[in-house]
Structure 1
C-alpha cells in the first residue's frame, strides 16, 4: 500500500503554513529583557593603516553602553576568525594564513572591514554614536583584480605574504596532459571570467547574544547554517568558552545559499561583548551593510585549453585559474576554488588526462567563500564553454561532440583522472530527455520566426555533474578539512506514537521539516503530521555539522534512516515479547507488527505505549523507552548530474537578452518529494540565470570602492525575467546510502550559467562571437553586435 505521506509523495511543505501566515520565528524577531543594540563601524577605505581611534565623543552620547575596538579585542586575547579548510602549495607547504582579527588591528583590508562595535540602549543611539567615533586612517594603494594582485609591483596586503599569494595549488597529471597536447589534431583555447556575486538571501544576517552571570553560560542566536560548528569554533578556538556553557540557536532562517555557512567576526564580537558589557545585545545587518560584509562568491580568471583528436575525441584538458579570495582567509574560502573546483573538471566526459593549477590571491575586497554550488558551477562553466567552442571550431555538432565523449551508463563506477569516483549515472539518458522536452529539432523554425520579428534566437545546452553530500570525513581530511563531516540524527518516539526528529542539519528554505518527516513516515507508517522535526539548537540537538554542499538528505537523511531502522529493530523486540514469538518471525507492514503467517499483531501505537509501560519486560535484555540515535559518515560523495537546454532571444538594437525557455533534466537519485525538488531546481536556475544575465559585483579598480553596493546597481533577477521552467528527472540511485539520494539543492546553479551563455553565443554566432562574459548585460551584448557590424559590412 502506498504511503500518502511517505517517500515520493507530493506533500505540501509543513513549514510553509507558519511562514505564509507571518508566524515564523527569526533572530530579528527576538525581544529579550534588557536587550541593548549594537552597530558596527566599518572602514570607508579598501586599504589603510589604522593610525588612531578616538571613542571619547561617542562614549559621551546618550544611551551609550560601550564602544569596543581592536585594542580591546587584543587586550582580552581573542583568537582571530578561523579557517576550517586549509590547502597546500604544490610542494606540500601550507597556504599563507595571516591573522584575521574580529575587529581590525593595524590595518583595514577592504571597504566594510569592521573597525569598532558600538553598543547602546537603542539601535538609533548606536548608529548616531558610531558616526561620532573618530578614526584616523593613512590610506594605502589598493588592488582589486586577482591577476593584478599577483604582479610584482602590486600593493601588498600583508608583510609576511609575498606577492599576495595565498597558495599555488594544483591537481592532475601535468606530464600526461603535455604528452596528449603534443599529439592533438586540434587545440581549443579559451579565456574567461567567472564574475563575483553577492548572495543576498531574503533575510539579512542577524545575531543576539547574552551572558548569564549566575550559570556562567553564553547564548548566541544567529542566522547560521551550522550552529554546532559555530559553537565549536567560537567556544574552543576563539573565546575559550567551555562547550557545556555555550548554547547556539538558529531559529527560522530566510535563506542561506552558503553566505551563512561562515564563521563571522560579528558573531565573535557580539558574544564577547555580551559578557564584557554585561548586557544582552542585538545586531541586525542592514542590506547595504551586507553588500560590504557578507561573503561574496565566485570571482575567477581562467585560461583553459582542450586537446582533441581529429574526430573530436577529448585527449586532455589544461586549466589555469587565478581565484580572488578577498582581504582575508575565510572559513571555507581556499577550499572553494581548489578542492571543490578542479575535481569537477572531468565533468561527464572520458577525458583521459587533466591538469589544473589554481593560484589564490589576496585582494582589497570582501572575502570570498561558498555561494550556492561553490566551485562546481565555476568548473562546469569552464568545461561546457570550451566544449561548445571546440565544436564550433571543428565543425562538429555541439550535441554530437558531447555524445562522443560522454561516460556511458555501463562504465559506472567511473574513476576520473582528478580524484573523483562516480558511483552511478546516466547522463546520455538525461541529454536525450532534455533534447526531446526542449524540442531541439524544432529550433530552426522558432529561430526563423524570431528573425521575422527582428530578433536573434539562440539555443544552448550543458551537461554537468557535481560532487556533493559533504562528507566523507576520510576524503575531506586528505584534502585539508580541519574536522569531521559526518551527520547525526536522533528519533524519539513518544508513548502515543508521535515522533520527534532531532537532526544536525539546518532548515533554511529546503523543506527539511517535510522531507525528513516523509522518510520516517515511510519507515514507521506514521502520518507525517504526527512527526516533529527539531534543528538549529545546540542544547536540544546532538552534535551535527549543518547544511551546505547539498548534504542534508544524502548525509543527514541517511543518519535519520539508520536511526529509524534502530527504532524498528527495537519495536520488533518489543512485539516479539508482547506476541510471545521469536523476533525473526515478526514482520512490519501497514503500520503493524505481526507474526508472519498469522493474524496476531500489534499496532505501532501499541508497541510505543508498551515501550513506556514495561511492566513485564525482561529488563536484562530489553530496555524501556523508544529513542535511538545514529551518526553517519558516508564512504563517498554523491554525484547528481544532468542536462539543461535554454533558448534566448536578443534584441540587436538594444542588446537585451530574454530567456524564453528552459528545460532541466536532472539525476538527483531517489526523489523524496517531487514538489520540493522542483522548487529547489527553480530557485537554483533563477540564481544561475542571475549570474549569467544580470548580477555582477563591481569594484572601482583604483580606489577599491564597491560600485554595486545596492539593488540600484546590483541587478537581481525578477519574476518577470524568468520563463516557464520545465523540470524532469532521469534517476539512477546513489549506490552507497540507504535512501539512494544524491542531492538537489545546488544542481540548478551548476548547469544554468553555461547553458544560458551557450545560448547567447549561439544567437550571436552570425557576428563571429565565440564567447560572452557574464553577465550578458545589454551594454555588453550591444557592443559585441556593433563591434562586429563593420566587419560584416566589409564582407
Structure 2
C-alpha cells in the first residue's frame, strides 16, 4: 500500500473519481469480443424481413455449399430447446392465465416481427456467414400486421396469434378500489382528463449486443460470454431452456457499454449460440451491427393512456384513475409485463391523493418484445400524475407549483401509506421542491421570458415532482450477495452479485470498503459478472445496487469484523468483548480504553497462520452473505427546466435545468450527479426526439439506424444544477435510496411541461419534434 489515497479521503460521501476509468479510457476495457477462444466460428442470423408471415419452406442447400460455411441451423434443427420464459404471470379478465406465444430461439412455422430470427449460419469469417445467410431461400406467406397497442386491441384488428390470443389481449391488470375512485370522481367539484402517449424507444447502447459461446465435451459444460445485467439469473434461465443443470453452464458478463434494463434477460441469440457451439463442436461468436440490434433488441415504454384527476373546490386531490393499453410486442420477454404493471404505485407521486385505481390491458403486436427500460414504469406513472396536475392548474386557473405544494405529503406524516400500494418510509418533499424553486430563480423567469420574446423566441417553464421505488418489491425486497476475502497481506477481494455496466460500481464499493473496513482503494479488488467466481447474485437493475448490494457488503463487513475481534482478542490477550474496531484510518482492533491494538492487516496475517488462531477457529478471514434490505426505498426529487422554442422552425433548446434529489445517503456525489445527468439526458431525448416508429400497414421498422433514430448530443444539453436533499432511509445500513433512474423519471414530464408552457397549449405528445411543435403553433394561431 503506497498510501497515496488515504481511506479517510475515499470513504462514503467522498467525491472520488471513477476507478474503472483508468482502464476504460485507455482502451483497456474487456468487452464481450475482447476474449474469444481460438478457432471460434462467426455467426450470422437470418432474420425475417416481414412483420407477420408463415414460413412455408426454408431451403439452405446452396448456402451449405458456400466457402467457409461450417453449419446452418433452423428452428426445426433446435426444436428441442424450450421456449424463452416470462417471469411475470398475469391473467385475462375472468382469471384465465395470459396466453404465452412460443418464444423460440429460432422461429418455427411463423414469424411475428421484422427481425425475428429464422436461421443461424456459422462460418469461418463473418463475411462468409453473411454471404451464406443471403443465399438461404425462404418461401413466405405474408399476413396483415398491427404495431400499436390501441390499434391491436380495437375490434377487427389483425391477430398476431390467431387462436391463441383472441383480440390480441395478453392480460388485464387492475389495482386499487375502482368503485371508490368512480364515486369520488362522480362527486368531485372538478375533474380533468387527458389522453396521452408514452412513445416507444430503442436502448441505443454504446456497445451493440454480442455473445461468445463454447462447449467443453470433456466436462459436458457450456460457457457463455455476453454483457448481461445479472449473470446468475441469465444462467439459470438459459440452463432451463437448454434442459441442463445450472452447474453445467458458466455465464461471464464482462465490461458492458450500457444496458438500461434491456439486457437483464436471456435472448434468442444466447440460446441458439449455445446450442450451435455443442452441435458444431466449435466456439461461436456473434456481434450485432447497429441495424440488426435495433430490429432485434427489446424496446422500451410504448403505452396509450387516459388519466383522470378529481379535485375539490379548494384544489385538493380526491382521486386518480388511469387506463393504459400497453404494447408487449410479439412475444412475452422475461420481464415483458413488468414495466406496465409492477410500478403502478408511482401514480401516487408525492401527493396526498386518497383514492387511486389503475387498469392495464396488455396487447400483442407485430413488434419487438418489450422489456424494462430505465425507470420501467416509474417515468410513465410520474408522467401521468404530473401531466394531469398541469392540465388541472390550466383549467382551474391556478399556479402549477402552488397546486402541487398544496397537495404534498408532509414530512411529519412519514411513514405515509399512499393511495395505491406504496408506503413511503422517509422524505421531505416540500424541502426538495423549495430548494429547486429557489435554485431555479423563478422570480427571474418573467424577465428571461421577455428577453426570449424580444428575440422572437418563446420560453416555457416546466415542473415535475418525481418519485420512484428502488430495490423492491415493497415489503419483500430481493436479496443480493457479497463475499469478502481478506488476504494475509491485508488486501481484499470483494465478490459481488451486482453488475457494473457503466455506473461506477468499482469505485463506490471501494468507498464502502474504506468506510466499513478501513481498506485503501488500491488494496481492494472487485469481482463480479462471473457465475464460476461469484457463487450467487441477482444483478443490477431497478436502482438497487447501493441499496441491496450495499446491504450485502455491510453484512459481510460486519462478519469480517466479528471474526476479526475473536482473533484480535487472542493476539492482544484480552476478552473478545473488550475489543473495539475503528475502520478509519486503516482498520484497527483495539482494547477499549487503551492504546493496545492491532491492524486489520495484522489480524488477517494471523488468520492465515496456523498458530495464532483460537482453538477450533477455521483459517482465513472471509465472510459471505445473501442479504436483503429491510424494505424498498423511494428516491424522489423536484425538476424544473426552461426551454426556448423557435416558432419559425419548431426547434427546441433546453436552456436551464435544476433538480433537487433525495437519494438518501450519497455514497459518491460525483457519480450521483453523473447518474442524474445521464437520466435527464435520456428523458429529454425521449421527450423531444427519440421514437421507434413502424409503418402501420406493413409493420416495417422505420427507425433502424441512427440516421432515422435521433439521440441527444452533448450540445443539446445545458449545464445541469443538481442539488442534494438527502433524507436517509432506515431500511438499509447505508441509508441509500438509489439514483440510477431518478433523472429519467422526472425529466420526461418536466421537459414536456416546459414545452407546453412555451407553446401555450395544455398538452403535446412526445416526442416534441420540430415538426410537431411547428404544427402545434400553427394550430394555436388558427
Q: TM-score surpassing 0.5?
A: yes
Q: Provide runs of 4+ in structure 1 moved above 6 Å.
A: none
**Aligned counterpart in structure 2 of residue 93 of structure 1, from 93, 96, 117:** 96
Which deviations, in whole Å up to 9, do the C-alpha atoms of 1:294-341 show, x marking residues without a partner?
Answer: 00000010011100001110000010000000100011011110112x
Aligned twin of 1:247: 250
Aligned mates of 2:129, 2:510 — CA distance in 1: 44
Deviations 1:722-772 (A, max 9, x none): 11111111011112101101100010110001000000111111xxx1101
Question: Residue 125 of structure 1 aligns with which residue?
Answer: 128
Match of 2:600 in 1: 604
Query: How far did residue 392 of structure 1 move?
Result: 0.8
The alpha-carbon deviation at position 587 of structure 1 amounts to 1.1
Identify the match of residue 435 of structure 1 among 434, 437, 450.
Answer: 437
Say whether the 8 Å CA contact 2:7–2:519 is kept in structure 1. no
How many Å separate the matches in 2 of 1:406 and 1:31?
A: 55
Give me the whole-angstrom Cα distance separating, in 2, the residues matched to 1:422 and 1:91.
Answer: 32
Map Cα deviations across residues 518-537 of structure 1 (whole Å, 9 max, x no partner): 11111111111211110000
Question: Which of 152, 161, 165 is the equivalent residue of 2:165?
Answer: 161
Alignment of 1:478-557 (within 5 A): 485-557=478-550
Query: Residues 206-262 of structure 1: CA distance to partner in whole angstroms, max 9, x if unpaired?
Result: 000001111111110011111111110111x21012222211001111111112112
Give the distance between the partners of 1:212 and 1:367, measured in 2 at CA. Answer: 32
- Structure 2 counterparts to residues 403-482 of structure 1, below 5 A: 403-471=405-473, 475=476
**Offset at 1:475?**
4.2
Q: Offset of 1:619 from its aligned partner?
A: 2.3
1:755 equivalenced with 2:750 (yes/no): yes
SS at match of 2:87: coil
3-state SS, counterpart of residue 739 of structure 1: coil
Specify the SS of the correspondent of 1:698.
coil
Change (3 A) 1:593 1:61: same
1:225 alignment partner, one of 223, 229, 233: 229
Output one character per residue of 1:108-166: Cα deviation in whole Å (capped at 9) or x when no partner. Answer: 00000011000001111000000001011000000111111112211111121111100
Matches within 5 A, 1:67-106: 67-74=72-79, 77-89=80-92, 91-106=94-109
| 3-state SS of 1:513 partner | helix
Give the Cα–Cα distance (whole angstroms) in 2 for the partners of residues 93 and 644 of structure 1. Answer: 42
Partner Cα distance (1:743, 1:128) in 2: 47
Superposition deviation, residue 512 in structure 1:
0.6
CA offsets, 1:459-480, max 9 Å, x none?
Answer: 01100110111356x747xxxx
2:640 matched residue in structure 1: 645
Alignment partner of 1:107 out of 87, 105, 110: 110
Question: Secondary structure, in 3 states, of the residue corresponding to 1:404?
Answer: helix
The CA distance in 1 between the partners of 2:78 and 2:613, in whole Å, is 58
Please, which of 36, 39, 45 is the counterpart of residue 40 of structure 1?
45
TM-score, length basis structure 1: 0.96
- 2-side partners of 1:486 and 1:37: how far apart? 38
Distance 1:137 1:368 in 2: 25
Give 1:280's match in structure 2, choosing from 277, 283, 290.
Answer: 283
Aligned residues: 773
* Match of residue 197 from structure 1: 201
- Measured in 2, the distance between the counterparts of 1:529 and 1:90 equals 57
- Determine which of 315, 331, 334 is the counterpart of 2:334: 331
Cα displacement (A) at 1:447: 0.4
1:778 to 765, 770, 779: 770
Q: Tell me what 1:479 maps to.
A: none
Query: Where do 1:555-594 residues align within 5 Å?
Result: 555-589=548-582, 590=585, 591-594=587-590
Tell me how far apart the structure 2 counterparts of residues 396 and 69 of structure 1 sit (CA, whole Å). 63
Counterpart in the other structure of 1:615: 611
> Per-residue displacement from partner, 1:76-135 (whole Å, max 9, x unpaired)?
x11001112222345443222221111111110000001100000111100000000101
Per the alignment, residue 206 of structure 1 pairs with 210
TM-score by length of 2: 0.98
The correspondence of residues 264-413 of structure 1 with structure 2, limited to 5 A, is: 264-340=267-343, 342-413=344-415
Mean CA deviation greater in 119-128 or 610-619: 610-619
RMSD in angstroms over aligned alpha carbons?
Answer: 1.2
Give CA deviations for 1:508-556 in whole Å, capped at 9, x if unaligned. 1011101011111111111112111100000000110111111111001
Looking at structure 2, the residues matched to 573 and 595 of structure 1 have their Cα atoms a distance apart, in angstroms, of 12
Separation in structure 2 between the aligned mates of residue 232 and residue 81 of structure 1, nearest angstrom? 12
Look up the match of 1:715: 710
Matched, 1:668 2:673: no
Tell me the distance in 1 between the aligned counterparts of 2:615 and 2:257.
47
- Structure 2 counterpart of 1:187: 191
Unaligned runs of 5+ in 2: 1-5
Of 40, 64, 87, the residue aligned with 1:59 is 64
Deviations 1:5-49 (A, max 9, x none): 110111111100100000111112223211100000000000000
Question: How much has 1:618 moved relative to structure 2?
Answer: 2.6
Contact 1:684 1:749 in 2 (8 A): yes
